[in-house]
Amino acid sequence: MRLCVPVFTFNTGDFNGAGTKHFVETIAGNLYAIYVNSINIDLEYSKSTDGGKSWAVPISLHAGTVISVAVTYDRWSNISAGLIHCAYTDNGVDDILYRNIDSENSDNLSAETTVFAGSTAISGGALSITRARGGNLVVAGSIDAGSEDGAWESTDAGATWGSTIADPSEGATQDQYLLLPGWNADPQDVMLIFWDASADELSVKRYDNSADSWAEASIATGMVDLVATSGFPNFAAAVDLANSQNVVVAWTNTDTANADLRCWKITDTTITEVTNVVLDGTDDQGLCAIMIDTVSGVWWVAYGGKSDGSETWGTLVGVYGKASADTGSTWGAETNLAGVLGTVNLRSLFGCPRCSGAPKLLIGEINGQIIYAAVEGITPHASYQIGLV
């Protein structure tokens, strides 16, 4: 049984600035969607306490002109607390700003603080945030054509932001970032999955907190990026706490015959590719999300476009997915994850990186809205199969 519920109206800021991970499921099972309101271009969140069947009246996080938003959650970094950390770019003031939601303390909101005071912000840049296992927050972003980019750190849960740390950027607006906690002996280290648009390369940049430096290692070449102003994301990541690693999925290309949806396990010393989620896809596929079931350990990967080539990218595609119960060694059959929605002009796809039970997604755009979708009743019975009831 599929559950599909409208959450909020769609705005290009929900993908245009290449912000990441807008969707959180807390340890209590509550859902939080953090998004840009299409009418006033403000940053808001909406909460569901019944598994997405209904959503509360939106709460304002920031009034302004928001062009990108990135989100992380304490428990994705194995921190026993409930802060949902939000970084966002406002091109009215040309700054990267920060605020958090305390999901375990009546949804109290922190004061807004400035991560980076810029001068010119444009859409299509990059923005990501993570919390190190040791507690430090790190934001990486590019707000314009490359002269205003970098990384910034907070050692007090976002209350203040210190001096700029070493810059992992490479000066191209189209480069895209995914920040994640690191797994080194120093719990304040983090890692950045970096998509180099000019080199068509995916790499990992590992941050050494004590040395204030990034060390880069190539993950894959021949990776043609999807410009964030067209849709986002074409790569995604989730934290695998049980195995002390991060899991990354990425398309080699979009809307291109024989493109692959590849998958890797990454620690602070190794990069291990596992079986492709999609091998030699059609010319009508793209976007992706990855979710790890915190109950069963099953990995879910969602993507746009049916593998038989029967849909049309940019006009009419559905949302499909596969599951792996053996950490990526094998993947189950392709399953329609939002069948009652039919096919849509897919512009964004965000999953809960760590969720309990069935995969949970935010899908946009559908008649000007972003839709919450969950496939209820799926139980992967083996590493090669997922079923619907």
Q: Is residue 389 part of a domain?
A: no
362, burial (CB in 10 Å: exposed 0-12, middle 13-18, buried 19+): buried
Q: Tokens 């403000």 appear where?
A: 42
Q: Is residue 153 part of a domain?
A: yes
Q: Is residue 274 part of a domain?
A: yes
Residue type, 259: A
Residue type, 60: S
Domain that holds residue 305: 2-375
Alpha-carbon distance of 140 to 127, in angstroms, equals 6
User: The domain that contains 318 carries what CATH number?
Assistant: 2.120.10.70
Task: From 247, 225, 249, select the one nearest 235 (Cα to Cα).
Answer: 249
Tokens of 296: 């069963």
Q: Is residue 386 part of a domain?
A: no
> Looking at residue 248, what is its pLDDT?
97
Q: Is residue 333 part of a domain?
A: yes
Q: Is residue 240 part of a domain?
A: yes
185, burial (CB in 10 Å: exposed 0-12, middle 13-18, buried 19+): exposed
Alpha-carbon distance of 261 to 389, in angstroms, equals 27
Give the number of domains in the chain.
1
Q: Is residue 103 part of a domain?
A: yes
- List the pLDDT tens digit at each of the 389 positions of the chain: 466 666 666 555 556 656 677 889 999 999 999 988 877 888 999 999 988 888 898 899 999 988 889 999 999 999 999 999 999 999 888 899 999 999 999 999 999 999 998 877 666 678 999 999 999 999 998 887 567 889 999 999 999 998 789 999 887 667 889 999 999 999 999 999 999 988 999 999 999 999 999 999 999 999 998 877 777 789 999 999 999 999 999 999 999 999 999 999 999 999 999 999 999 998 899 999 999 999 999 999 999 999 988 888 877 888 899 999 999 999 999 988 877 566 677 888 889 999 998 888 888 766 666 777 777 655 554 443 333 32
Whole-Å CA distances, 325 to 329, 359, 377 = 8, 14, 16
The DSSP code sequence of 367-387 is TTEEEEEEETT----BTTB--
Q: Is residue 174 part of a domain?
A: yes
